[in-house]
Structure 1
């Protein structure tokens, strides 16, 4: 038995709230995926903070209408699973990694705010480093000149001390 109108409204509201918090939505076709495989995918998604939902496309279209993901509505065809995350990369990583090991899960499309991408775009997004890795790289890049300056400034007194030590050794030598 299907959902009645008020239950559908509750589902749409819940998914709309999740869409509002998301930085990325990934669509994947799950046709032929076993219950065990689907359970494993959900476990992996939960561990990465990805909201995973199987939803009727009409309800999903209502949930994204009026948002920056509205362009994704045209891609909502067939039995789809929706992966949403506040980190733009994590949903793509989880679904893409699972799809590599299970040919029944097929990536269809994805979206970031005001940008819709195809399957190749989702795969490219999945290959990007996570936000934390990008921030660590940026921090290392910003720290490198400062660390080099500190070493250079530290070298001046060190060179002076070594010069004094060499002069002292030279004075101690008999002529």
Structure 2
């Protein structure tokens, strides 16, 4: 059953909102998945905090036309297309990779990933994207690196103080013995 003009306008607005809201967008080809596999994949994306939906190419292209600087994505809206919207560049790739390995399948296939204005095309980019660290992981590493010198100094001072105390104790014991 075809959608009314109002329903289509609502879908276009929804896609446009997501394009504004999320800096990471994955376009995938999901052809060949059964309904059960599609539902499983959707559940995995949901658990990972990734918004995933099948879109009608013409409606997505209209939404893209309304976005500034996203023209490069238009050429990828052909054939069966599902879109994953995310805040984390690696989460969608990891979900897809895990699904492909566990189901021993070749689909869904990454058409392109849009990560803050940069395009990553094709299935070979999936491994690279899955290896990216999340923002939280990177911040944790930076904080750890920043704290490391202070911890080393504190450890050095503590151990030096303990060594000095040990030396003084040994000297005082030696004087008592003599």
Q: Compute the TM-score of the two structures, normalised by the length of structure 1.
A: 0.90
| Structure 2 spans left out of the alignment, 5+ residues | none
Query: SS of the residue aligned with 2:89?
Result: coil
TM value normalised by structure 2:
0.89
The counterpart of 2:117, out of the listed 101, 114, 119, is 114
* Aligned: 1:87 with 2:91: no
In structure 1, C-alpha distance between the alignment counterparts of 2:49 and 2:36, rounded to whole Å: 20
The alpha-carbon distance between structure 1 residues 98 and 70, as it changes in their structure 2 partners (threshold 3 A), is farther
Secondary structure class of the residue paired with 1:87:
coil
Residues in 2 aligned to 1:15 and 1:56: alpha-carbon distance in whole angstroms = 10
Q: Quote the residue 1:63 is aligned against.
A: 63
**How far apart are the structure 2 equivalents of 1:3 and 1:10?**
10
> Aligned to 1:110, what secondary structure does the other structure show?
strand
Q: What count of residue pairs does the alignment treat as equivalent?
A: 174
Match of 2:162 in 1: 158
Partner residue, 1:76? 77
Separation (CA, whole Å) in 2 of partners of 1:67 and 1:45: 27
Asked if the contact 1:92–1:125 (Cα under 8 Å) also holds between the matched residues in 2, the reply is yes
SS for the counterpart of 2:53 is strand
* Residue equivalent to 2:97: 96
CA RMSD of aligned residues (A): 1.7
Task: Name the CA distance, whole Å, in 2 between partners of 1:86 and 1:128.
Answer: 13
Which one is further off, 113-122 or 78-87?
A: 113-122
Displacement after TM superposition at 1:121 (Å): 2.5
Within 5 Å, give how 1:47-58 maps onto structure 2: 47-58=47-58
